[in-house]
Amino acid sequence: MKIWTVANQKGGVGKTTTVVSLAGSLAKQGKRVLMVDTDPHASLGYYLGIDSEQVPGSLYDLFMQHQSLTRQRVMAHIVPTRISEIDLLPATMALATLDRTLVHKEGMGLILKKLLAFVEAEYDVVLIDCPPVLGVLMVNSLAASQHIIVPVQTEFLAIKGLDRMVKTMLMMGRSKKINYSYTIVPTMFDKRTKASPAALTQLSQDYANRLWPDVIPVDTKFRDASLAHLPITHFAGFTRGGKAYDRLLDYLLTKEFAHAKLS
Ligand SMILES: Nc1ncnc2c1ncn2[C@@H]1O[C@H](COP(=O)(O)OP(=O)(O)O)[C@@H](O)[C@H]1O
Ligand SMILES: [Mg+2]
């Protein structure tokens, strides 16, 4: 089971869209996917038409029961989506209080990793959606993942935010003696503007070996797909945006393969 986190400390850069679209691309290949929402705003659930206040339980409850987790207990908190290959471990507002309750306790950064180990046999890929905040949830997400996907909007302000995210990963990696592997994904690329190609040039100068050598184009179909509560891949047959996420998935799968051979 592969575990990937989609993170960036900037909001509105396409994190949730990336989680849903990659899940859609994986589902089309027949892969079983678990999406984990660690954002207290629960936008991943809302995207899929699942009301986080109506679900039987959430990631929050599992964090609170972390000393008595079982496979059955974890599975009881996972809900199906309209796509049979894709399940969701939902978020609730209560997640926002975890920083206060957990931050000073030993081993609190490894709860998500521990609970995902219980569903190892159920899924091919886990995709974790992060809030734009460096807190106990992002720490848990990074610690649980084999690879991190960092979407960056192709405009200058967003690149500033990226520097912060990369510093965070370096800092956390150092304290845990892990060299996080990550891929930067340029999003909302609009070749008709000046800002998008200029931002891409800047990215390739600053992060040459970490940059996905392709882009997710700006595509109004993403908004239409989210209104229909479907991944773009399941909303419309051919879209430029959906095809781009298919290509990103191929890249990530081969990258993971190469990675696995090394270790
Ligand atoms: N490639 C894209 N083209 C057009 N709109 C996009 C694209 N990616 C995301 N969006 C839209 O931008 C908004 C923010 O995206 P979202 O994935 O929620 O960002 P984040 O999770 O980082 O806050 C949403 O309304 C989404 O539909
Ligand atoms: Mg989001």
Q: For residue 12, report the distance from its CA to the centre of ligand 1, in Å.
A: 6
What's the mean pLDDT in 108-113? 92
Query: In this model, does residue 168 exceed pLDDT 90?
Result: no
| Ligand nearest the Cα atom of residue 15 | 1
- What per-residue confidence (pLDDT) applies to 178? 75
Q: Cα–Cα distance between 41 and 60 in angstroms, integer?
A: 13
Alpha helix positions (H), the chain: 15-28, 43-47, 59-64, 71-75, 98-102, 111-117, 136-144, 156-176, 195-206, 221-227, 232-235, 240-262
The pLDDT value recorded for residue 102 is 77
Is the distance from the beta carbon of residue 12 to the nearest atom of ligand 1 less than 6 Å?
yes
- Say if residue 229's pLDDT is above 70: yes
- pLDDT bracket for residue 262 (50, 70, 90): very low
99 CA distance to ligand 1 centroid (A)? 26
pLDDT at 261: 39
Atom of ligand 1 nearest to the CA of 219: 3
User: Is the CB–ligand 1 distance for residue 9 below 6 Å?
Assistant: no
Cα separation, 84 vs 107, whole angstroms: 34
- What digits encode the pLDDT tens for the residues 179-220? 788 999 999 999 999 999 999 999 999 998 899 999 999 999
The secondary structure of residue 36, as a DSSP letter, is E
- State the average pLDDT for the chain: 91
- Residue 174 clears pLDDT 90, i.e. is over it: no
